[in-house]
Structures are given as structure tokens and as C-alpha cells.
């Protein structure tokens, strides 16, 4: 029996973060949970785009955030 659950992975690079939605697949096997190749491909593609400062390309598969430092008083 396979159970599928949606999950969100966050990738942080420099002043940007991306929220990528993936599906985790749970089975009775020892390698559980697993994810589909397409979900792994999304995660791998987002990081280099953020490193280049490209926030347009990752928005195809992720929500992109700009991080702004907050001065503590």
C-alpha cells in the first residue's frame, strides 16, 4: 500500500528562499518515504537559479521570497 502526502521543501540561497511543493510517497519498504524524479528535478533546478539571482525561472515550480535582514535593537 502506498500513501502520498504533499510536503514543502525550502531552499535558501543568499537573499532568496524558495518554497517547492513535492509529494512524498510512503510504503512499507525500508526506503520510505520516496519522491518522484520530477520533484527531485524541481529541487535541483531551483538552487542554481537562486545562486545566479534569477527569481523568474524558479517561479515556474516554486514560490520565491526575498529575505530582508531585520536590525535587532
Q: Is residue 73 included in any domain, yes or no?
A: no
Q: Is residue 21 part of a domain?
A: yes
Structural domain contains residue 19:
yes
Q: What residues does 20 pair with on adjacent strands?
A: 9, 62
Q: Look at residue 31 in the predicted model and tell me its pLDDT.
A: 83
| Number of independent structural domains in the chain | 1
Q: What is the pLDDT of residues 6-64, one digit of tens each?
A: 999 999 999 999 999 999 999 888 888 988 999 999 999 999 999 999 999 999 999 99
Q: What is the pLDDT of residue 23?
A: 94
Please report the pLDDT score of residue 54 as a whole number.
Answer: 94
Q: What is the domain range of residue 11?
A: 3-66
d(C-alpha 16, C-alpha 13), whole Å = 5
26 within some domain: yes
> What does the pLDDT read at residue 30?
81
Amino acid at each position: 500500500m502506498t500513501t502520498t502526502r504533499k510536503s514543502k521543501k525550502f531552499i535558501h540561497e543568499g537573499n532568496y528562499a524558495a518554497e517547492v511543493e513535492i509529494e512524498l510517497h510512503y510504503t512499507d519498504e525500508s526506503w520510505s518515504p520516496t519522491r518522484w524524479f520530477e520533484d527531485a528535478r524541481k529541487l535541483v533546478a531551483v538552487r542554481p537559479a537562486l545562486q545566479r539571482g534569477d527569481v523568474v525561472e524558479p517561479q515556474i515550480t516554486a514560490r520565491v521570497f526575498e529575505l530582508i535582514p531585520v536590525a535587532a535593537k
